[in-house]
Chain A
Amino acid sequence: MTDHSMICLLAAAVENGEVGFLPLKIIGFASGVVGLIFFLGTAVGMVRFPDFYTRMHAAGKGDTLSTMLMLGGFGLVTMEDFSVGSWLLLIKILAVILFIYLTTPTSSHALMRAAFEDDEMPMTEDDLKKSKRKGKRKK
């Protein structure tokens, strides 16, 4: 009985971050939060930017970096002990990060090229002035 309660207490302590690999967890939490901030940038850019190419700029960069940071953070947070299983898990998460690092910019590039060959023209300064004037008139 005492053994069981001891194990429970130890598990609770590890869960609370009192015992174990606190520095790794703190780095993981921090990188997750930084990833969330970058994703906020992506979301704001997707809504606020005026034309497709600028939106793609926000989406391509912010999305790649924030996904990589979040996944890396979770890889560090789930690293409970340094057994073979947890190393395997970290390697798998690193594989997902590598995959996203390769594929997301490539798909952004492919979409950009498809849009450009589909006669979707980037917005020039004159277009921007015109749209601003229109907005003022509406107000």
Chain B
Amino acid sequence: MTEWFAMVMGAGLFVLMIPIIYRIFKGPTGFDRILGVNVIGTKTAVLLVIIGTLYGRVEMFVDFALTYSLLNFVAAIVVSRYLNRTISLKEMEAREKAKGGAKA
């Protein structure tokens, strides 16, 4: 019963991750992609607990889930910090184009 529940939940999570992967692939801005990666990273903690339930070693996999959610948080903070401290991406592209134009 528990194993069936874990399998159904895992399959449901996998199916529902497909739209988010579509958004990561297509996302008009870089922030959309980062947001999608963040969502999937949070869901990976749940997936790890599901895998632990299937293997019957939840007490081991919960540690992994905690570590994974921590690293996911660090990744989001790194990206936002970097984009906060630099000029906007559009301006950067414009400058690179101007440089390329000058060289050409």
Contact = CB atoms under 8 A, between A and B. Distances in A.
A and B part of one assembly: yes
B69 A96 contact: yes
B65 A96 contact: yes
A52 B38 CA distance: 14
B39 A63 contact: yes
Interface string A89-126: 10011011001100110111011011101111000000
Contacts of B65: 71, 96
Interface string A17-35: 1000000010001001000
Interface residues of B, number: 50
Given A46-B20, A52-B29, A92 B80 contact: no
Nearest to B90: A119
Contacts of A95: 66
B13 A36 contact: yes
Interface residues of A, number: 49
A114 B69 contact: no
Interface stretch (A2-10, A37-45, A131-139): A37-45
A111 B36 contact: no
Contacts of B49: 71, 74, 93, 96
Given A103-B73, A114-B84, A70 B9 contact: yes
Contact of A93 (B50, B62, B72, B76): B62
Interface string B5-39: 11001001100111110110000010110111011
Contacts of B35: 46, 52, 55-56, 59, 108, 111
Given A17-B1, A77-B53, A89-B59, A114 B31 contact: yes
Given A67-B45, A108-B38, 20 more contacts: A25-B2, A29-B5, A40-B16, A47-B23, A56-B35, A70-B46, A71-B49, A74-B58, A77-B53, A78-B58, A92-B62, A96-B65, A96-B66, A96-B69, A107-B73, A107-B77, A108-B35, A111-B79, A114-B31, A114-B83
